[in-house]
Structure 1
Amino acid sequence: MLTSIDRLLLVRGVPIFKELRDDFLVRLASIMNEVSYPPSKMIFAKGQEGRSLYIVVAGKVRVHIDDKKDLAVLDKGNCFGEMSLFDAEPRSASVTAITNCDCLVLTQQQLYEAIDETPDIAVNIIRMLSRRIRVQNGQINTQNEQISKLSEELKKLEAYKQSVI
């Protein structure tokens, strides 16, 4: 179990909460549930309904589309599951504990009550989501460039093959 001070220090370090007042963070951190997961335990599955954000207290988790495609590995101080707090859409990825993992959980209802009290939290979450989208877009662009280069190389090889035949 985390002490109140440990909870405050951890939550204060999470990007979406960084700019919020300590008195607000103390209250928010105190209402979060602490949960533990063993290695290889799926925390939630892609397609599942979600209404909670998780903060990694200890251990590591992998965010993945399937067993072969990892999107990220997250450790202490990182959060995941935040998209489900704002829309009614199913989870876009699965999250599985890599090691023994402890998390703090913030529910949608708790967050909405917090936003009513401190609207800045919504702006911070939007910023974090925007950063994640930018990173994903960068990865997609890099992959598209690599595919384009490979396609050009393949065309050159085909042209060479035709000239030899």
Structure 2
Amino acid sequence: MEGRPVHSLVKALQAVPSLAGLDERALLAIVGDSANLYWPAGSCVFERGSRTDSLYVVVTGSVRILDEGGHEAALLEAGNSFGEFSLLLGTPHQHEVRAVEDTELMVVPKQRFDALIASNQELGRRLREQAEERMRANLSVAAEPS
């Protein structure tokens, strides 16, 4: 991977709560299989309903997660990830994601993500629980009267 030194990318991954507890070997494998890509402010990372093929880690900058009505559901800054729940569930993206400012994302391909989950049962369990919690929260928000 060109650009940032590997150790700074490993450090960026260590800051991601959903990847907490992974050893350095696993983090190096993620870095080695990933690409760091840049999105200018205002650009769309992916649209709601688009195919799921990667996990995204915010290295620098920030992204806005937009709900079906185009309202902000979350603002994610460096040290956060997104896309993992669609990967786990095998579903299209449920939200649109846009760069708030010039943003660098580490894009982890599905194959690396799947291998990571297969080799770390605790991580897989933790991510599935988080996905279920988020789905329940989304369903309860959707069920609220307008």
Question: Is TM more than 0.5 here?
Answer: yes
Letter matched to residue 28 of structure 1: I
- Structure-2 separation of matches of 1:127 and 1:59: 27
Instruction: Give how far 1:131 is off.
Output: 4.9
The higher-RCO structure (CA 8 Å, 6+ apart) is 2
> Aligned match of 1:38 in 25, 31, 40?
40
Give the AA of the match of 1:16: S
Instruction: Describe the SS at the equivalent of 1:105.
Output: strand
4+ residue segments displaced more than 3 Å: 130-138
For the 8 Å contact 1:15–1:128, the answer to whether it is kept is no
Q: Displacement of 1:127 after TM fit?
A: 3.8
Q: 1:99: which partner in 2?
A: 101
Structure with a larger share of its residues in strand: 2
1:61 alignment counterpart = 63
Task: Answer yes or no: is the 8 Å Cα contact 1:40–1:97 preserved in 2.
Answer: yes
Unmatched segments (≥5 aa) in structure 2? none
Q: Distance in 1 between matches of 2:109 and 2:89?
A: 13
**Contact 2:63/2:75 (<8 A) preserved:** yes
Correspondence for 1:159: none
After the TM superposition, which of the residue ranges 36-45 and 109-118 deviates more from structure 2? Answer: 109-118
Give deviations 1:78-137, integer Å, cap 9, x for gaps: 111112212332210100011000000112111112223322321231243345456657
Which residue of structure 1 aligns with residue 87 of structure 2?
85
CA distance in 2, matches of 1:124, 1:32: 22
Query: TM-score under structure 1 normalisation?
Result: 0.75
Q: Which has the larger radius of gyration?
A: 1
What is the total number of aligned residue pairs between the two structures? 144
Kindly report the root-mean-square deviation, in angstroms, between the aligned alpha carbons of the 2 structures.
Answer: 2.4
**Which structure features the higher share of helix residues?**
1
- Give the residue type in structure 2 aligned to 1:105: V
